[in-house]
């Protein structure tokens, strides 16, 4: 067995200088790669997390080589044993990459040669790193997407717990960050949970395409002369089918773009939730207190309680958006088929997975830790002339054209402002004096915030009864039981 120290010899070497090393080429070269060029292209530190998928692909490939007689029964067994030995090394953290290992595929082949002798060199027949890496990344992403979906579901469940506890808590609703109309806190919180529900749908849709079309059998770009069966690879590795075109199969990274696009949208949703938590926990809003375990202090100001988790998650959304842009820019302008630029697909994908897998549980914990101030929210709910639209709509019921109703209530608001009161502070007589068009309307009900909210009872509205239904619908979607 040759050792793997071929990198330590003179610069000029015989043409088989790569034999036994993790560099899978060299026959036609008379010089070793330049050190800087080698460092530039070496990708083992990034690829390493694909090891399980790479080995699973190798098991499927060995079976195909055996089926068409390229491997004897004995060679097949030897290779399978070798793959399992390598698997144990990776699983146990003892696999050692050598300086001459160019990428994961080269490292695995080098190690198989060490373990199985020259039989290890037979496994490369009928495949290319181009179809291998496309397979590995697809399989990795499918698994990563499952983990991400559970993490999003858990965050939704944290939001649902809070929303169900606050179905009838009154809260001010905002547009332009100005108080607009009253809502229920449950309704507001569930808005975030529904956005996350679309994220899950996008991620699952992407998962379907990730393991939709198997690239194995494409070889470098043009398929193979060996009678390997792409369908069997697809079945063995859990793909729904086979890619229709070998050139597309090795050049395509749409599945990664779709993932990053879904990831960026999810990150933006987390950022918007984070922003609200920052606002809610400020003295100015004082809607909620973030739990100690999800807050941090200041090194100089002893009194500080900062909502750092929410801020960090808001900040990280920029990185995930950058990951999407990075891959799109890498792909733009690449001619078919494989180009080494494609090696730059993995860092943004891994970064987005890692970032979200850190952010999601931290946000779920932060949401669970929120202690909302019910009376403060209720006091704020009716302020800022939040029931002005309700009065205008009452006038519309009484046949006043909305245009005129808007004007009339606007004048009433101005009159109240001049007196330093809100519409909800007026008694029936003062309101009737300002808006005689109200006639015999129940003005007490018209100026009561809880009544105003429960009247918004259409299916998409904030009325407590609707919030209960929304929560139940979301519970069904996330597959968790409704809280007692």
CB of 332 to ligand ARG, least distance (A): 17
Tell me how many residues contact ligand ARG (CB under 6 A).
Answer: 9
- Choose one: 167-175, 227-235, 338-346, 433-441; the region binding ligand ARG (CB under 6 A): 338-346
Binding mask 38-77 for ligand ARG (x = CB under 6 A): -----x----------------------------------
Q: Does the active-site annotation cover 298?
A: yes
Using the minimum distance from each CB to ligand ARG, give the nearer residue, 43 or 265. 43
Report the site for ligand ARG in 133-162 (rule: CB under 6 A): 133
CB of 236 to ligand ARG, least distance (A): 21
Using the minimum distance from each CB to ligand ARG, give the nearer residue, 343 or 454. 343
CB of 25 to ligand ARG, least distance (A): 8
Using the minimum distance from each CB to ligand ARG, give the nearer residue, 130 or 447. 130
Q: Does the active-site annotation cover 30?
A: no
Question: Of 176, 299, 375, 459, which residue is the catalytic one?
Answer: 176
340 part of the interface to ligand ARG, by CB under 6 A: yes
Among 21, 130, 295, 355, binds ligand ARG (CB under 6 A): 130
Q: What is the 3-state secondary structure (H, E, C) of the chain?
A: CCCCCHHHCCCECCCCCCCCCCCCCCCCCCECCCHHHHHHHCCHHHHHHHHHHHHHHHHHHHHHHHHCCCCCHHHHHHHHHHHHHHHHHHHHCCCCCCCCCCCHHHHHHHHHHHHHHHHHHHCCCCCCHHHHHHHHHHHHHHHHHHHHHHHHHHHHHHHHHHHHCCCCCEEEEEECCEEEEEEEHHHHHHHHHHHHHHHHHHHHHHHHHHCCEECCCCCCCCCCCCCCCHHHHHHHHCCCEECCCHHHHHHCCHHHHHHHHHHHHHHHHHHHHHHHHHHHCCCCCCCEECCHHHCECCCCCCCCCECHHHHHHHHHHHHHHHHHHHHHHHHCCCCCCCCHHHHHHHHHHHHHHHHHHHHHHHHHHHHHHCEECHHHHHHHHCCCCCCHHHHHHHHHHCCCCHHHHHHHHHHHHHHHHHHCCCHHHCCHHHHHHHCHHHCCCCHHHHCCHHHHHHHCCCCCCCCHHHHHHHHHHHHHHHCCCCCC
CB of 256 to ligand ARG, least distance (A): 12
Using the minimum distance from each CB to ligand ARG, give the nearer residue, 343 or 480. 343
CB of 41 to ligand ARG, least distance (A): 8
Using the minimum distance from each CB to ligand ARG, give the nearer residue, 79 or 137. 137
Binding mask 383-422 for ligand ARG (x = CB under 6 A): ----------------------------------------
- Choose one: 229-237, 334-342, 427-435, 436-444; the region binding ligand ARG (CB under 6 A): 334-342
- Choose one: 129-137, 307-315, 414-422, 465-473; the region binding ligand ARG (CB under 6 A): 129-137
Using the minimum distance from each CB to ligand ARG, give the nearer residue, 349 or 441. 349
Using the minimum distance from each CB to ligand ARG, give the nearer residue, 198 or 340. 340
Question: Of 30, 150, 282, 298, which residue is the catalytic one?
Answer: 298
Q: Tell me the C-alpha distance between 77 and 63, whole Å.
A: 10
> Which residues of this chain interact with ligand ARG, rule CB under 6 A?
43, 103, 129-130, 133, 338, 340, 342-343
| Residues classed as catalytic | 176, 298
């Amino acid at each position: 067995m040759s050792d793997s120290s071929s990198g330590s010899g003179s610069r000029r070497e015989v043409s088989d200088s790569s034999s036994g090393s993790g560099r899978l080429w060299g026959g036609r070269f008379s010089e070793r790669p330049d050190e800087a060029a080698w460092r530039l292209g070496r990708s083992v530190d990034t690829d390493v997390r694909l090891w399980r998928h790479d080995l699973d692909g190798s098991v499927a490939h060995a079976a195909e080589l055996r089926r068409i007689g390229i491997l004897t029964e004995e060679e097949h067994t030897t290779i399978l044993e070798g793959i399992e030995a390598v698997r144990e090394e990776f699983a146990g953290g003892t696999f050692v990459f050598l300086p001459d290992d160019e990428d994961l595929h080269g490292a695995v082949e080098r190690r198989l040669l060490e373990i199985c002798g020259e039989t290890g060199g037979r496994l490369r027949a009928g495949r290319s790193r181009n179809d291998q890496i496309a397979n590995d990344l697809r399989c990795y992403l499918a698994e990563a997407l499952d983990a991400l979906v559970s993490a999003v579901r858990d965050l939704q469940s944290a939001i649902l717990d809070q929303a169900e506890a606050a179905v009838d808590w009154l809260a001010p609703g905002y547009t332009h960050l100005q108080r607009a109309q009253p809502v229920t806190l449950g309704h507001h919180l569930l808005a975030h949970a529904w956005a996350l529900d679309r994220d899950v749908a996008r991620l699952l849709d992407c998962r379907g395409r990730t393991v939709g079309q198997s690239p194995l059998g494409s070889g470098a770009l043009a398929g193979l002369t060996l009678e390997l069966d792409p369908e069997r690879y697809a079945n063995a590795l859990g793909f729904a089918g086979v890619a229709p075109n070998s050139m597309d199969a090795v050049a395509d990274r749409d599945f990664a773009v779709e993932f990053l696009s879904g990831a960026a949208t999810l990150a933006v949703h987390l950022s918007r939730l984070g922003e609200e938590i920052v606002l809610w926990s400020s003295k100015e809003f004082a809607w909620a207190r973030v739990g100690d375990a999800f807050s941090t202090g200041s090194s100089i100001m002893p009194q500080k309680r900062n909502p750092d988790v929410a801020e960090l998650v808001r900040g990280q959304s920029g990185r995930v958006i950058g990951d999407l842009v990075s891959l799109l820019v890498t792909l733009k302008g690449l001619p078919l088929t494989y180009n080494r630029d494609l090696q730059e697909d993995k860092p943004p994908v891994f970064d987005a997975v890692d970032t979200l897998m850190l952010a999601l549980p931290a946000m779920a914990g932060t949401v669970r830790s929120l202690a909302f101030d019910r009376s403060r929210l209720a006091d704020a709910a009716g302020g800022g002339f939040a029931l002005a639209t309700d009065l205008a709509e009452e006038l519309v019921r009484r046949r006043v054209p909305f245009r005129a109703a808007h004007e009339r209530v606007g004048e009433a608001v101005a009159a109240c402002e001049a007196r330093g009161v809100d519409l909800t502070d007026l008694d029936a007589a003062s309101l009737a004096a300002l808006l005689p068009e109200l006639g015999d309307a129940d003005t007490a009900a018209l100026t009561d915030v809880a009544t105003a909210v429960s009247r918004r009872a259409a299916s998409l509205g904030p009325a407590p009864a609707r919030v209960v239904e929304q929560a139940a619908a979301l519970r069904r979607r996330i597959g968790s039981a409704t809280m007692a």
